[in-house]
Copies of this chain bind each other. A is one copy, B any other.
Amino acid sequence: METVKSVDLSINNKKLKNIGFSGLQKLFKQSIVLIALFLLWEIAPRIGLVDEAFFPRFLNVLIAWWEMVKSGELFAHFSASITRSIFGFGLALLIAIPLGLLIGWYPLARDLLNPVLELFRNTAPLALLPVFMLFLGIDETSKISIILFACTWPILLNTIAAVGSVDPLLIKSARSMNISSFKLFYKVILPASVPTMFTGIRMAGSSAILILIAAEMVGAKEGLGYLITYSQYNFMIPEMYAGILTISVLGLFINYGLLSLEKRLSRWKQDPTL
C-alpha cells in the first residue's frame, strides 16, 4: 500500500537540466554584487576617485598576484601560513568544544572558569603579542598560540550557547534511558548543538586566517601576514593588496568548506523558511 515510487529517468533528466539552468542563474546571482565590487575597485583609481599610488587598480593587484604565484613566492608564504592556521585552529577545536560543553553543562565549571575565561576573552590578541613573545619566544609556538587564542573564543562561546538551547525534552528523554553524561554530550547535546556550534567554528575558521597578520608580526620570516606587512612597509602596494586578497579568498574557501560540512551534519534539519 505504499507509494514510495522512484521518480523515473525522464523526470530526473528534466531535473538535471533544471539544475543546470537554475544553477547558472544562482551562480549569476551570487557573483553579480561581487563583480560590481571588483569593477568599482578597477574604476575608482582610473577616474581619479582615489590616488592610484595608494589604492591600485584591481587588475594591477591581480597582475602582482599572478607574478607572485608564478615565482612560487606566494605558495611559500601560503603554506607557512596555512600550516600555522590549521594547527592553531585544530588545537582550538580540541580545547574549546569540550570546555564549552563542560561550562555549558556543569554550573561548577561555569562558576570556576567563567571569570578567567571572560577576562582572557576580553584581552586583545594584539595587546598580548609582547606577552606571547616573552613566554613562548618568537618561533612557531608563539604564532600558533596566538591563533589558538583567537580561535578559542568564538567556538567556546557558541558551544556554551548551543548547550543552553538544546530542547530540554530531548535531554529528559535521553536521561530517562539512563545514559552516561559522556554519552549525553556525545549523542544528544553535540548533534543538537551542531548548527549553533558551527557558527562559532566558522567564525573561528576566519579568525585563524585573519589573526595571521598579527601573529606573523611577531618574528616571522614568511607567511601571508608577513607578506602583507613586508609589502606595506616597502611600498609594494599591489603586492600588499594581493596578499590581503589571498587571505580573504582563503578564508572564503575555508568558510565554504565548513559550511558544507555543517550541511552534511545537519541534513536532518527542516528548513524553517519552508
Task: Report chain B residues within 8 Å CB of A112.
Answer: 29-30, 32-33
Could you give, for residues 222-239 of chain A, a 1 whenever the CB lies within 8 Å of some chain B CB and a 0 otherwise? 000000100010000000
Say yes or no: A252 contacts B119, CB within 8 Å: yes
A220 contacts partner chain B, Cβ-Cβ < 8 Å: no
Could you give, for residues 148-166 of chain A, a 1 whenever the CB lies within 8 Å of some chain B CB and a 0 otherwise? 0000011001101101111
Say yes or no: B251 contacts A121, CB within 8 Å: yes
- Partner of A115 from the list B31, B247, B272 (CB cut-off 8 Å) is B31
A118-B252, A165-B272 known; A29+B108 contact, CB < 8 A: yes
Q: How far is the CA of A26 from the CA of B130 in the complex (A)?
A: 34
Say yes or no: B247 contacts A123, CB within 8 Å: yes
Interface size grouping (class) on chain A: 35 or more
Say yes or no: A161 contacts B195, CB within 8 Å: yes
- Partner of A54 from the list B134, B154, B157, B240 (CB cut-off 8 Å) is B134
A2 contacts partner chain B, Cβ-Cβ < 8 Å: no
Say yes or no: B114 contacts A168, CB within 8 Å: no
Say yes or no: B248 contacts A122, CB within 8 Å: yes
Say yes or no: B30 contacts A130, CB within 8 Å: no
Q: How far is the CA of A203 from the CA of B105 in the complex (A)?
A: 20
Q: Which residue of B lies closest to A150 (CB)?
A: B210
A4 contacts partner chain B, Cβ-Cβ < 8 Å: no
Say yes or no: A122 contacts B196, CB within 8 Å: no
Task: Report chain B residues within 8 Å CB of A139.
Answer: none
A34-B115, A130-B54, A251-B122 known; A157+B203 contact, CB < 8 A: yes
A87 contacts partner chain B, Cβ-Cβ < 8 Å: no
Instruction: Give residues of chain A (193-249) contacting chain B, Cβ–Cβ below 8 Å.
Output: 195-196, 198-200, 202-203, 206, 209-214, 228, 232, 240, 243-244, 247-249
Say yes or no: A213 contacts B157, CB within 8 Å: no
A60 contacts partner chain B, Cβ-Cβ < 8 Å: no
A7 contacts partner chain B, Cβ-Cβ < 8 Å: no
A31-B115, A119-B252 known; A124+B195 contact, CB < 8 A: no
The 3 closest A-B pairs by CB, nearest first: A122-B251, A161-B199, A29-B111
